[in-house]
Amino acid sequence: MEIESVRCECCGLEEDCTQDYITQVRDTFYGKWLCGLCSESVRDELIRGKNSNKAKKSAAASSGMMEEAVRAHMSFCGKFNSNPAVQVADGMRQMLRRRSGELSSSPSASKKYSRSASTKLY
């Protein structure tokens, strides 16, 4: 297996991956190669979009939703021209904030995680 360096088309972060993995990611995201963090952000956006619209979607509409989620995330990343590592850290901070909100919404989790959910992440 040959390892290649590939750059995320959203944030610019470089990763070393096999050609098979690169192809798989590009197939999933309409020819775009996304790093792990950006691909998770796109999937998160897709899930939130599906949850906000309770109507069932056909496969064609579902693929259109994925394409729209990729475009939205690429637009978001395009607004920031900083070091990719800073963008990754910002993305992780946003994900942790969302997750801590999800955890604090359940009664048992709010007791267990109430201190960490109120801690500011900078």
User: Which residues are 3's β-sheet partners?
Assistant: 18
Q: Which amino acid is at 10?
A: C
d(CA 26, CA 31): 4
Which of 87 and 18 is assigned the larger pLDDT?
18
Q: Please state, in angstroms and rounded to a whole number, the distance separating the CA atoms of residues 106 and 111.
A: 9
Candidates 30, 15, 112; CA nearest to 73 is: 30
Residue 38: pLDDT over 60: yes
Q: Taking the domains of the chain in order of start, what are their residue ranges? A: 1-81, 83-122
pTM: 0.56
| C-alpha span between 21 and 78 (Å, rounded) | 24
